[in-house]
Amino acid sequence: MSMFYSLRSVLIVHNNAKERGELAVAIRKTVDCTVLESDSPERALEALQEDEISVILTDLFAPANAGLELLKKASKLNTQIVTIVGVPVNQRNLALEALKFGAFFCLNTPYNHEETIIATSRALQHHDLLTKGEVRGRKFRKSDGFHGIIGQSAKMRQLFNNIEKLAAEGDSSVLVLGESGTGKELVARAIHAHGPRSRKNFVPVNCAAIPEDLLESELFGYVKGAFTGANQAKMGRLQYADGGTLFLDEIGDMKASLQAKLLRVLQEKEFEPVGGIKPIPVDVRVVAATHRDLEKSVSEGRFREDLYYRLNVVPLQIPPLRKRKEDIPLLIDKFIMTYNRQKKNPFKGFSHEALQVLKQYPWPGNVRELENLVQRMSIFFAGQTAGCEDLPEKYQGSDGTAQEQQASEPQEYSVSMDEGGVDFNLLVNRFENQLILQALNMTGGNKREAAKLLNLKRTTLIEKLKRKNIQTGD
C-alpha cells in the first residue's frame, strides 16, 4: 500500500500543557507525522483553518462537551479528517455520544501513551485510505509521474501511451507482465484511473496471498447458509468492482477450478455467489498480472489455455529497471522525497559516485528493491549524504556484476560508548529497524517470509511495522 503518500499531521487538543507535550513527544517518536498542539477547542479551530490536519485527537472539554462541537466543525472544514476523542474513564456513556458525532475512535483519559500511539497510527492509515481516491483521480504532475508511475525513459513513455489508449477504450481484459517489483499494480491502477471506469471501484485481489479455499468466496461472495458459519450473505469483490476494475494480481497462482469460474465471468458477464443459484450480472474490466511465464504454465497444463487467451487480449509488458537505467535517478529523487516527508532530519541523498554505482547495479528486485534501499538509507543516514562506502555491500562492485549478498553472512553490531553515554532506546530501535528492513528486503516485502527469517510471529512483525510506520511493498 505504499503507492501514494499524503502529508500527515496530527492535532492534539488538550488543556494540560505538560501532559499534552509528553503525548506529542511520544507520538512524534513512533509515528511518522507532524504533531501540532492546541490548548482549547477555539485554538484548535484556528489551527484547522491554517493547516491541513489529517487526524485530530481531542478531549471532550467538560462540562459543555465543546470537544464534540469541535469535531463537527472540523469535519465541515475537512471532510476527510479522522477524529479521536478522549473520554474520562468514569463517563463511558459519553463515548457513545462521541461515536454518534462521527468520532473514529474513543480513548479513555487520562491517555495511555501506547494505546494513543496505536489509535493515532490507525487513524492515519484510515486517512491515507480516504485521501487516496482523490490523489488517484488526479492527472499528470511531474513529481508524481503518470498516475504515480515515475519514468521518463522512452520505454516508459511508450507504456504510458499504451495505458492511455487502453484506459479510453475501457473494456477489454489486460494482462500486465513484468518481473517482480516493476510496478504491475501501479500500472493496473493507472489503467483504471485514467479512463471512464475511475468513477467506480478499483478492486485488487492478490490470488497468491489469499488462501485457495477463501479466494472463491472472496471473489464471488456467498449467500446466507452457503456453508456452516455463513450466517449472513457476503458480497464478493467481483461485485464491488461492478462498473470498475477488478485487478487479479498473481493470476498465475490461481487454482484450476477457479480459473474455470473466472473464464465464465469473462464470457457471460455474470457470476453466482457461493451457494447461490441465480446468476448476477456484472460489468467489470479485468486487469490481471503475474510475474510468471504464463505461456509456459499453459504448455505445462497449469493454466487454462482458453482463459489465457481471454486475458491476454492486450498484453502490457513492463521493462525491468536494468533496461531503463535513466529512470533510476528520478526514482531515487522521488523516494527520497517520500521518505523525508515530515522528517526533522532529512536524508540528503547519495553522493555522485554512489549514484553512479547504483546506476550500474542490475536491480533484480527492480523498483521495489530500489525503494527499499532508499527507505533504509534515509533511516540510517538521516541528516547525511550517503557515499559509496555507505551502500550495503551487494551494491558496491560498480562494474555491474554485483552479486546478491550472502544471506547468512554474519554481521557485527557495535556501538562506541563514551562518558556521554548512549540513547539506549534510539539505538535499540535502530537495530530493530535494520533487522526488519533487511528481512523485508530479502523477501521482497513478504511479511510472512520476513517474520520467518526473524523468528518472529507474523502478527508481532506486523504490529512492529505499524508501530514504526514502515510501509511494505504489498
Question: In angstroms, rounded to a whole number, what is the distance separating the alpha carbons of residues 447 and 449?
Answer: 5
The nearest distance, CB 180 to Mg ion, in angstroms, is 7
Q: Between 10 and 246, whose beta carbon lies closer to ligand ADP? A: 246
Q: Between 217 and 297, whose beta carbon lies closer to ligand ADP? A: 297
Q: Is 6 in the site for ligand ADP (CB under 6 A)?
A: no
**Per CB under 6 A, which of residues 370..399 are in contact with ligand ADP?**
371
**The one segment of 7-15, 130-138, 183-191, 275-283 that binds ligand ADP by CB under 6 A:** 183-191
The nearest distance, CB 379 to ligand ADP, in angstroms, is 17
Question: In angstroms, rounded to a whole number, what is the distance separating the alpha carbons of residues 388 and 405?
Answer: 16
Q: Between 59 and 185, whose beta carbon lies closer to ligand ADP? A: 185
The nearest distance, CB 208 to ligand ADP, in angstroms, is 11
Cell digits for 347?
Answer: 536524508
Q: Strand pairing partners for 35? A: 10
* Among 41, 67, 86, 151, contact with ligand ADP (rule: CB under 6 A): 151
**The one segment of 98-106, 142-150, 260-268, 304-312 that binds ligand ADP by CB under 6 A:** 142-150
Cell digits for 190?
Answer: 493507472
**The one segment of 85-93, 179-187, 260-268, 306-314 that binds Mg ion by CB under 5 A:** 179-187
The nearest distance, CB 163 to Mg ion, in angstroms, is 17
* Among 71, 186, 205, 437, contact with ligand ADP (rule: CB under 6 A): 186
Q: Between 36 and 321, whose beta carbon lies closer to ligand ADP? A: 321
Task: Tell me which of Mg ion, ligand ADP, none is bound by residue 320, counting a contact when its beta carbon lies within the kind-specific cut-off of 5 to 8 angstroms.
Answer: none
Say how many residues make up the chain.
474
Q: Is 181 in the site for ligand ADP (CB under 6 A)?
A: yes
Q: Is 120 in the site for ligand ADP (CB under 6 A)?
A: no
Name the pairing type of β-strands 234-235 and 221-222: antiparallel
Q: Strand pairing partners for 350? A: 386
* Among 56, 57, 357, 367, contact with ligand ADP (rule: CB under 6 A): 367
Q: What does the radius of gyration of the chain's CA atoms come to, in whole angstroms?
A: 25
Q: Between 185 and 216, whose beta carbon lies closer to ligand ADP? A: 185
Q: Is 180 in the site for ligand ADP (CB under 6 A)?
A: yes
Q: Strand pairing partners for 235? A: 221
* Among 150, 287, 332, 379, contact with ligand ADP (rule: CB under 6 A): 150
Q: Between 94 and 367, whose beta carbon lies closer to Mg ion? A: 367
Name the pairing type of β-strands 245-249 and 285-290: parallel
Q: Is 316 in the site for ligand ADP (CB under 6 A)?
A: no
* Among 86, 183, 221, 244, contact with ligand ADP (rule: CB under 6 A): 183
**The one segment of 56-64, 184-192, 298-306, 425-433 that binds Mg ion by CB under 5 A:** 184-192
Q: Between 120 and 180, whose beta carbon lies closer to ligand ADP? A: 180
Q: Choose among 289, 269, 287, 288: nearest CA to 279.
A: 269
Task: Tell me which of ligand ADP, Mg ion, none is bound by residue 2, counting a contact when its beta carbon lies within the kind-specific cut-off of 5 to 8 angstroms.
Answer: ligand ADP
Task: Tell me which of ligand ADP, Mg ion, none is bound by residue 368, counting a contact when its beta carbon lies within the kind-specific cut-off of 5 to 8 angstroms.
Answer: ligand ADP
**Per CB under 5 A, which of residues 154..173 are in contact with Mg ion?**
none
The nearest distance, CB 153 to ligand ADP, in angstroms, is 10
* Among 8, 368, 376, 447, contact with ligand ADP (rule: CB under 6 A): 368
Q: Between 88 and 362, whose beta carbon lies closer to ligand ADP? A: 362
Q: With helix as H, strand as E and coil as C, how does the chain read? A: CCCCCCCCEEEEECCCHHHHHHHHHHHHHHCCCEEEEECCHHHHHHHHHHCCCCEEEEECCCCCCHHHHHHHHHHHHCCCCEEEEEEEHHHCHHHHHHHHCCCCEEEEECCCHHHHHHHHHHHHHHHHHHHHHHHHHCCCEHHHEECCECCCCHHHHHHHHHHHHHHHHCCCCEEEECCCCCCHHHHHHHHHHCCHHHHCCEEEEECCCCCHHHHHHHHHEECCCCCCCCCCCEECHHHHCCCCEEEEECHHHCCHHHHHHHHHHHHHCEECCECCCCCEECCCEEEEEECCCHHHHHHCCCCCHHHHHHHCCEEEECCCHHHCHHHHHHHHHHHHHHHHCCCCCCECEECHHHHHHHHHCCCCCHHHHHHHHHHHHHHHCECCEECHHHCCHHHCCCCCCCCCCCCCCCCCCCCCCCCCCCCHHHHHHHHHHHHHHHHHHHCCCCHHHHHHHHCCCHHHHHHHHHHHCCCCCC
**The one segment of 115-123, 274-282, 363-371, 455-463 that binds ligand ADP by CB under 6 A:** 363-371
Interface positions with ligand ADP (CB under 6 A) = 2-3, 145, 149-151, 178, 180-186, 331, 367-368, 371, 473
Judged by the rule CB under 5 A, the positions of this chain that interact with Mg ion are 185
